[in-house]
Amino acid sequence: MNTILRLPKVLQERGRSRSAHYLDIQQGLFTRPVLIGQRAVGWPAHEVHTLNAARIAGKPDDEIRILVAQLEADRKAAT
């Protein structure tokens, strides 16, 4: 099942503030949101969990950026 998490849940799962979350996106350390409505965005739950697991495993930022790029590429391949 593909679940999309809204921002409050993503922030709760990550333990990050809103500004830190969007800074991570700008720096390539977290995936960009997907549109789920005209003014609504969310993140695939599996991406949130995968990136959290990489952080817990102590992956360096360079490896996280590669993982983010792969996750975003996988989105395009799934369509």
Report the amino acid identity of residue 58: G
Lay out the sheet containing 34-35: strands in order across: 4-5, 41-44, 34-35
d(CA 42, CA 31): 10
77 falls in which pLDDT band (50, 70, 90)?
Answer: confident
- The pLDDT value given to residue 78: 73
- The pLDDT value given to residue 1: 64
pTM: 0.92
Q: What is the pLDDT of residues 13-72, one digit of tens each?
A: 999 999 999 999 999 999 999 999 999 999 999 999 999 999 999 999 999 999 999 999
